[in-house]
Chain A
Amino acid sequence: MNPIGEYFPATIGARGTITVVVVLLLVALRLIRHLRARSIRKARSADISQASVNSDDNSRQLTSASRKQKSKRFQLPWARSYTAQVAGREIRERLRAKSIRIVTFMILAAVGAAVVIPVLTKAKAKTYEVGVVGPISRDTSVALAQATKATGTVARLASVVSKKTADQEVKSGKLDIAYECSAGILTNQAIAATDTSGKARLVRQLSLEIGIAEAFNEAKLSPSQIEAISRAKPVKVFSLQPPPKVTQSDRNTALLGIIVVFVMLNQYNTWTLIGVMEEKSSRVVAVLLSTIKPIQLLGGKVIGIGTVALAQAGLVIAFALALGKAVGSSLLSGTAPSMLAASLVWLLVGYAFYCWVYAAAGSMAERQDQVQTLAIPLSIPIVAAYVIALSTVSSAHPSLFTVVLGYIPLTAPLVMPVLVGIGHATWWELLVSVCISLASTVLVARFAATIYRRAVLRTRGRVRIRDVVRASNG
């Protein structure tokens, strides 16, 4: 069956999934706008009726008190807290910004491409045309069948009348490969030793298989002897430990996971840094801290951004899983969903650790250029961990140094998911690393909150950390 034919219904499913997600998002946005507009209309009409009834200030105060009684609604105690108010504003303002919609769309597009393109490429696998000068012998057919099986390629044999014709057709591209018994295998361009393309692998394997077939013929072995040799099985290999249950697909999923964690972690950290800096530079922080505590403001900001981060990352992962299932991507098969879920956990653990550091840094800056100066040193551990994680995915053999980095909170969010992905960390090792990160987060948060409290109200240029550590508030 045409592989494209198998794939086609799945593509409809993917389109359907994307359409449903987009429609749901649009409906949600519309609903939020509608509710907001209705709330404003209600408040305006109540205001007008109140103005007509209340003629003096005393009666106005009385009705204000009675309104407070009437407007009491059930809410969770936390939802009424000041931290929740700050978090709520952070969520509303983030979602209102166009930038988050654009960034989310771009991430979804990138993830969608990463899931769909390999499937499409695989579905449209090239069939190599192999020309044989003269009649096609049984040995040649068998050799080609074994070569395609070994290399995972598709090839078709065609008889060519002469060597000259074979040369012309290879040169014109009509044939990919030509074989002549006396001359060997012909390709248009020499195959480099480092070339790992399908054609290169097919040529190497085919030359080997034909060479073996020719060796059998020269040895004048009987068909039964050839068959006996062909049935040769490798001797059993014993190992002291079972093999890691890691496939290439798992590695690809781990790679996708660390790219998502890296991009999003940087994005959310930057949000925190700039958010704190903007509150300081616009001086609104003085108004806010005149009514709530610094830890309530900082905590609300961190929780608000974290909630948006969780929603955005959850959407991306759900989209990747749904799309992967719809198009039948091997990238998201087997243990991939749990690995992506683990990436989501590490994204949150990483954000929980770094957000405090970035918030403290933001409280020491007042201008955009100061933000850049502060952000670069802070991002060094993340970038280093990202590079190490990428190289570890490719080699699949982590060094002791890399394993140690998997337990250090600064690098663990990117390194530990890879160690898990390539089968070099067990569940309890993962748990230990998460616990170390969470415990460190508590200490970092306390220190960062102190820095924030002391630095955020200093508005005469950039604040230096040693001044803040030694100084008191204000």
Chain B
Amino acid sequence: MSIVDGLEVTGLSRHFGEITALDGLSFGVPTGQVIGFLGPNGAGKTTTMRAVFGLMDLESGSITWKGEPVSQHIRRKFGYMPEERGLYPGMLVGDQVEYLGRLHGMTAIDARRETLNWLDRLEIADRFDSRVDSLSHGNQQRVQLAAALVHDPELLILDEPLSGLDPTGIETIGGVLTEQARQGRGVLFSSHQLDQVEDLCESVVIIESGKLVAAGTVDDLATQGPRRLVVRVEGDRDGQWARDLSGVTISEFSRGDVRLILDNGTDSDIVLKAAMQSGKVTQFSFERRRMSEVFREAIS
């Protein structure tokens, strides 16, 4: 698949000693969308992001932006928020964001103005003259995001932008990411908070051991695969009634709800009858796969 209007990584490979970090990884990030980049720890997400920014030499593979190989000049159109964050602790917030804007080719006046805009938008304008190390973790995260956005990037690549944030911070940053995508920019972000990914993203890319294991829109991934049922039977909170049913696998049970996966050809009426024989059925409905299930099944 070739994505002309966006980022395309093709066949990325990289080893660290005997560890395979990237193993022929290929996927695309179209503009105008928020893409979730998922994978367990050590799957190669950070390595991939670093490779896009030239911070990692690749053994093979290519990275293109709108059909052109990604060069230093093109990278200046990208915004990056690394996983371990990266700010000068002793530098003033405003100076820091402005400086990073200038390193992306902005003039001093534009960098100053956009710095004020973004600090205001991210609700930390009053910390313009504060040292970065005097800020809370959440506010440092906002400064980092402002630094990634100050130069009006065409593509945002954010490594764990939501980790450690309170609900207000998640809402603010999530709103900014959605707004950026709506304005035609590409947004790729990694996260382990799958509920937030489901809320924010149109599509996800799931990798494991440096390989692509699933990719597509959230809707497609949620509706793919076998049918799923949520059943609640009074007095049977752990789904004992379903254990002996053929063609049915218990996916999980929590707070009285039992989630079942039906094999192809299994009749849902048979499942309903079995539930009713066990007790009073208070819920019986089909459901989409949640992102956590998509993720778990993809990497299993």
Residues of A within 8 A of B (CB): 39-40, 43-44, 46-47, 50, 57, 61, 64, 67-68, 71-73, 82, 85-86, 89, 92-93, 278-279, 282-293, 457, 459, 472-474
Contact = CB atoms under 8 A, between A and B. Distances in A.
B185 to A, nearest CB: 11
A472 B100 CA distance: 27
Given A68-B107, A283-B84, A286-B82, 17 more contacts: A40-B94, A40-B128, A43-B113, A47-B113, A57-B179, A64-B152, A71-B110, A85-B103, A278-B88, A279-B88, A282-B87, A287-B87, A291-B76, A291-B104, A473-B55, A474-B50, A474-B57
A290 B102 contact: no
A71 B107 CA distance: 7
B80 interface: yes
A456 to B, nearest CB: 10
Interface of B: 14, 50, 53-57, 72, 75-76, 78, 80, 82, 84-91, 94-95, 99-100, 102-104, 107-110, 112-114, 116-117, 120, 128, 147, 152, 179, 183
A47 B82 contact: no
Contact of A288 (B103, B108, B114, B128): B103
Contacts of B87: 282, 284, 287
Nearest to A97: B90
Given A40-B94, A286-B50, A287-B86, A85 B102 contact: yes
A64 B152 CA distance: 10
Nearest to B58: A474
Nearest to B159: A286
B50 A292 contact: no
A46 B54 contact: no
Contact of A82 (B56, B90, B103, B179): B103
B54 A289 contact: yes
Contacts of B55: 286, 289-290, 457, 473-474
A286 B51 CA distance: 11
Nearest to A292: B103
A47 B109 CA distance: 11
Contacts of B128: 40
Contact of B116 (A44, A289, A459): A44
Contact of B86 (A39, A50, A89, A285): A285
Contacts of A92: 95
Given A293-B72, A473-B57, A47 B116 contact: yes
Contacts of A474: 14, 50, 55-57
Q: Which one of B53, B76, B86, B89 has the greatest number of beta carbons of chain A within 10 Å?
A: B86
A335 to B, nearest CB: 43
A459 B80 CA distance: 18
A89 B88 CA distance: 11
Contacts of A288: 86, 100, 103
Contacts of B54: 289-290
A391 B103 CA distance: 48
A278 B114 CA distance: 27
Nearest to A71: B109
A57 B152 CA distance: 12
Contacts of A47: 113, 116-117, 120
Nearest to B151: A291
Given A43-B112, A85-B102, A282-B88, A290 B75 contact: yes
A459 B99 CA distance: 24
Given A43-B113, A287-B147, A293-B72, A459 B84 contact: yes
Q: Which one of B14, B95, B109, B114 has the greatest number of beta carbons of chain A within 10 Å?
A: B109
B152 A286 contact: no
A86 B99 CA distance: 9
Contacts of B50: 286, 457, 474
A27 B29 CA distance: 53
A93 B98 CA distance: 14
Contacts of B56: 457, 473-474
A92 B92 CA distance: 11
Nearest to A43: B112
Contacts of B183: 57
B50 to A, nearest CB: 7
B78 A290 contact: yes
30 contacts: A40-B94, A47-B117, A50-B113, A61-B152, A67-B113, A71-B109, A82-B103, A85-B99, A85-B102, A89-B99, A93-B88, A93-B90, A279-B88, A282-B87, A283-B82, A283-B84, A284-B86, A285-B86, A286-B80, A286-B84, A288-B86, A289-B54, A289-B55, A291-B75, A292-B72, A457-B50, A457-B56, A459-B84, A473-B55, A474-B50
A454 to B, nearest CB: 9
Contacts of A289: 53-55
A282 B113 contact: no
